[in-house]
Amino acid sequence: MTGELIGGILSLIIIVGFGVAGALSVLIWKKNRVSRVSFLRFIIQAVGSATLFYIFSIKPSIPLLYIFITWFAATLVLGRFFCGWVCPFAFIMDLESVVRKTLKIRYRILPDKLNIALHKSRYIILTIFLFLPIILWTLNPPPDMNANIIMLQQFAGPFRSYSFIVEPLTPFIVPWTGHITLGNINLSYPYLSNITSLIETIPGQIFALLFVCVTLAGAFLVRRVWCRFCPTGASLAALNQFKIFKKLPLLHIEKDEKKCTRCGICKRVCLVQVNEVYEQKGGEIRTSQCMLCTRCVEMCPYDDALKVKIGKKTVFNSRNWLEPSIISDEKNKQQNSINN
């Protein structure tokens, strides 16, 4: 038992070590200021998927309830950092974006009203799945309290619906028998296990296939399309709506109104079309839509106009990456607009 524990810890250290080495390589090798953080995010997403694969392969398996609690506790400090930097489902969508860029196919922008409606709809989806287990438990309660606790720990039985909250944690390659097997490699896809368990036999398989096709096609055309109404993202964001958590999460983006020229770059590059960074005059950006991917900070061409901060300490700030001639043109445009 002790040997297995030591082996598990060493394996996890090796995975994290690869992640740190990859992150340092990006920071040293990648000189382009407008893509360095994006490359770093890919490294962290890949390491995150490998770490989740390892966590799910541990025997005996860690109860999903404990993973859920740990995840939400981290959210109080890091906000939706998981959504922006770790989520395996988001990683799949980001890889699609790389393919789209390689093929030089432009992504589509959703109308602001539709985008906001999608963001709000996630709370409706979340509410349905949160109350569904209560109804199922009332109709068919477990035989005793011990069975009740065990089912809750594993999100089984009447609590099965709660597993949808942790479904985005499912990496593309899984340590169990997946939905597709290539040689000795088992492949899976988020939410498929939920779909096939709720809708059994052939109709469930057809619906699961349609879900995969629609989400992959949607993510190819619209950046991070699922993230806009993901119920998991809603459950993480909901914590920050309570007054007791108003000053949380500690990790956030801050805007300096005096250094912002309202060029609109932050609005155009946002993966999920968050407008608050552009529209808010200054101060901390606390919108629940923001996934803290920091793309806006990376692309902002003005020194310290945007900052990523944890508490009061700056972790990362915007840097001037424009050519001198472009800077001059921008200043002339600003001066002309003031004179006019």
Each residue's pLDDT tens digit, 280-290: 888 888 887 88
The pLDDT score that the predictor gives to residue 206 is: 85
Write the DSSP assignment of 161-177 as a string of letters.
Answer: GGGGGGGGG--SEESS-
The pLDDT score that the predictor gives to residue 307 is: 93
The pLDDT score that the predictor gives to residue 164 is: 81
Neighbours of 145 (CB within 10 A): 8
With residue 110 as reference, give the H or E element that holds it.
none
Distance CA 44, CA 270 (A): 19
Q: Tell me the β-bridge partners of 285.
A: 253
Nearest to 330 by CA among 271, 246, 262: 262
Nearest to 219 by CA among 271, 180, 268, 291: 271
Distance CA 186, CA 56 (A): 13
Q: What is the per-residue pLDDT across 12-57, written as a single tens digit (0 to 9) for each?
A: 555 555 555 555 555 555 555 667 788 888 888 888 888 888 888 7
The set of residues, in sequence order, having a beta carbon less than 8 Å from that of 300 and lying 6+ positions away, is 265, 266, 306, 318
By the 8 A CB rule, do 196 and 205 touch?
yes
Note if the pTM is more than 0.85.
Answer: no
Strand, coil or helix: 252: strand
Task: State both tokens at 69.
Answer: 């609690």
Torsion of CA 110, 111, 117, 119, to 10 degrees: 40
- The radius of gyration of the chain from alpha carbons, rounded to an integer in Å, stands at 22
Distance CA 208, CA 202 (A): 10
Regions of the chain short of the pLDDT cut 70 = 1-34, 178-179, 234-247, 323-340
**E-state strands within the chain:** 173-174, 180-182, 185-187, 251-255, 283-285, 306-310, 313-317
